[in-house]
């Protein structure tokens, strides 16, 4: 019994439908060979092991990790028959596996992004001294998140904390973190800082933080980014692109907010410095007032002494004029009948003569002109 024939295109479509139904997604591990990028858009390579080879295809924009021949990788892919009848895997995700491949991939991306200046110190921004709004990208179930929040709440208060829950390990992690970063950066009120937090882990677990789009998203974030990826020994590329790298989630919380007890001490110190300034100023003014007062007193003293001297001189002068002094010296005073001192008289006048010891009345018998 012969089946109804179908066209070549329909046959390809039918096979692809069957493949999609049977294997919507397969995860394959192998070694990369014949890696090439065509027109900067299309990536081709073969995935092989000791006895088999599978051709792979993907769009260059989906390639999140640098590849080269010899690297061991794990791909998430969909098997497909092309219109040219060739079988290949259409790759959705790639993850280097094994220490050697992870390191190589790290080194390749590091060199590439370094060349672009993504890790330059001049790009780094300072975290605000006292943020009012921060965002945290983390898995809310992780120990790292719990550590971060515990220290954050212990150290500081009055903060608005927006939490974006994502998975922080596995092949999906970088995509989710990038989406969360984009979401937070598109908010009308961009946070003062964004913390990307996860606990520790093996180098393999950390590969999510060596993802190219994630590293780029961190570098281009509008809000400063602090990473607390929790791996003191190894630095991830996300750490290098971040504005601030914290060794652990706890350390990140310590760097992002000040300590409330230190700030209380700071407020006290400020007030104390103001009190010292006040006391110094009061002392200064007191000395100035006393100085001015003493200056006035000295002026008054000086003026008073001058006046005293003047009065003494005048008194002495006036004393010299006292007619009684003339009597003391042996002179006489001459009065008329009315008792007025006179300096001349005529014959027949009666005058009174006063000497030092007596008063006598005499008649004028002779007058001559001097």
Partner 1 sequence: MSAKNNPTLAEQIEQLDALAAWFEQDDFDIEEAITKFEEASQVAESVKTKLSELENKITVLKQRFDTEA
- DSSP bridge partners of 334: 353
Pick the piece of the chain touching partner 1 (CB under 8 A) from 69-77, 93-101, 127-135, 222-230: 127-135
Per rule CB under 8 A, is residue 339 in the interface with partner 1?
Answer: no
Q: Which of 158, 157, 159, 136 is closest to 148 using CA atoms?
A: 136
**What is residue 239's three-state secondary structure?**
helix
**What is residue 289's three-state secondary structure?**
helix
Per rule CB under 8 A, is residue 290 in the interface with partner 1?
Answer: no
Asked if 64 and 57 touch (Cβ cutoff 8 Å), the reply is: no
Per rule CB under 8 A, is residue 132 in the interface with partner 1?
Answer: yes
Distance of closest approach, residue 128 Cβ to partner 1, in angstroms: 8
Per rule CB under 8 A, is residue 286 in the interface with partner 1?
Answer: no
Pick the piece of the chain touching partner 1 (CB under 8 A) from 53-61, 89-97, 126-134, 354-362: 126-134
Compare residues 28 and 263 and give the one whose CB is closer to partner 1. 263
Q: Determine which residue in the list 71, 94, 118, 166 makes contact with partner 1, applying CB under 8 A.
A: 166
Q: What is the DSSP letter of 169?
A: S
CA 136 vs. chain centroid, Å, equals: 20
Asked if 65 and 210 touch (Cβ cutoff 8 Å), the reply is: yes
Asked if 102 and 208 touch (Cβ cutoff 8 Å), the reply is: no
Distance of closest approach, residue 136 Cβ to partner 1, in angstroms: 9
Pick the piece of the chain touching partner 1 (CB under 8 A) from 60-68, 129-137, 334-342, 360-368: 129-137
Q: Determine which residue in the list 167, 207, 227, 248 makes contact with partner 1, applying CB under 8 A.
A: 167
In the window 171-210, what residues touch partner 1 (CB under 8 A)? 172, 176-177, 179-180, 183
Compare residues 278 and 326 and give the one whose CB is closer to partner 1. 278
User: Which distant-in-sequence residues (6+ apart) come within 8 Å of 262 by Cβ?
Assistant: none
Q: Determine which residue in the list 264, 297, 305, 307 makes contact with partner 1, applying CB under 8 A.
A: 264
Token digits for 342?
Answer: 């006179």
Q: Determine which residue in the list 12, 63, 159, 351 makes contact with partner 1, applying CB under 8 A.
A: 159
Q: Which phi and psi angles does 227 have, rounded to 5°? A: -105, 135
Site string for partner 1, 71-110 (x = CB under 8 A): ----------------------------------------
Residue environment code for 86-115, b if the CB has 16+ CB neighbours within 10 A, otherwise e: eebbebebbbbbeeebbebbbebbbeebee
- DSSP bridge partners of 87: 81
Compare residues 136 and 240 and give the one whose CB is closer to partner 1. 136
Q: Helices H, strands E: what count in the chain? A: 9, 13
Per rule CB under 8 A, is residue 263 in the interface with partner 1?
Answer: yes
Distance of closest approach, residue 243 Cβ to partner 1, in angstroms: 19
Pick the piece of the chain touching partner 1 (CB under 8 A) from 19-27, 52-60, 161-169, 327-335: 161-169
Per rule CB under 8 A, is residue 163 in the interface with partner 1?
Answer: yes
Burial class of residue 342, CB neighbours in 10 A (0-12, 13-18, 19+) = middle
Per rule CB under 8 A, is residue 307 in the interface with partner 1?
Answer: no
Q: Which phi and psi angles does 40 have, rounded to 5°? A: 60, 15
Longest distance between any two alpha carbons in the chain, whole Å: 202
Compute and round to an integer the Cα radius of gyration of the chain.
Answer: 55
Q: Determine which residue in the list 150, 260, 296, 356 makes contact with partner 1, applying CB under 8 A.
A: 260
Interface ranges with partner 1 (CB under 8 A): 129-130, 132, 140, 149, 152-153, 156-167, 172, 176-177, 179-180, 183, 260-261, 263-264, 266-268, 270-271, 273-275, 277-278, 281-282, 285
């Amino acid at each position: 019994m012969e089946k109804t024939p179908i066209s070549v295109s329909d046959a390809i479509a039918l096979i692809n439908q069957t493949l999609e139904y049977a294997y919507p997604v397969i995860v394959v591990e192998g070694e990369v060979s014949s890696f090439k990028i065509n027109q900067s858009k299309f990536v081709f390579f073969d995935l092989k092991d000791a006895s088999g080879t599978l051709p792979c295809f993907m769009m260059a924009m989906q390639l999140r990790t640098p590849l080269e021949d010899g690297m061991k990788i794990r791909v998430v892919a969909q098997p497909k028959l092309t219109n040219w009848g060739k079988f290949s895997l259409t790759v959705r995700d790639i993850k280097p596996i094994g220490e050697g491949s992870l390191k190589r991939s790290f080194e390749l991306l590091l060199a590439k992004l370094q060349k672009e200046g993504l890790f330059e110190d001049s790009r780094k921004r300072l975290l605000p001294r006292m943020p009012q709004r921060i965002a945290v990208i983390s898995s809310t179930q992780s120990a790292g998140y719990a550590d971060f929040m515990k220290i954050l709440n212990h150290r500081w208060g009055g903060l608005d904390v927006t939490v974006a829950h994502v998975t922080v390990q596995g092949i999906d992690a970088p995509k989710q973190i990038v989406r969360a970063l984009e979401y937070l950066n598109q908010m009308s009120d961009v946070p003062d800082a964004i913390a990307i937090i996860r606990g520790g882990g093996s180098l393999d677990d950390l590969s999510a933080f060596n993802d190219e789009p994630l590293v780029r998203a961190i570098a281009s974030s509008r809000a400063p980014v602090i990473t607390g990826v929790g791996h003191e020994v190894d630095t991830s590329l996300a750490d290098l692109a971040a504005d601030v790298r914290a060794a652990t989630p706890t350390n990140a919380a310590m760097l992002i907010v000040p300590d409330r007890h230190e700030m209380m001490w700071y407020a006290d110190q400020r007030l104390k410095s103001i009190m010292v300034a006040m006391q110094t100023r009061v002392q200064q003014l007191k000395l100035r007032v006393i100085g001015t007062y003493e200056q006035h007193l000295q002026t008054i003293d000086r003026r008073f002494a001058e006046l005293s001297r003047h009065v003494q001189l005048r008194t002495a002068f006036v004393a010299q004029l006292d007619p009684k002094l003339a009597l003391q010296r042996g002179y006489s005073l001459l009065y008329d009948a009315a008792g007025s001192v006179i300096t001349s008289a005529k014959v027949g006048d009666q005058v009174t003569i006063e000497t030092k010891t007596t008063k006598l009345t005499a008649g004028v018998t002779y007058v001559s002109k001097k």
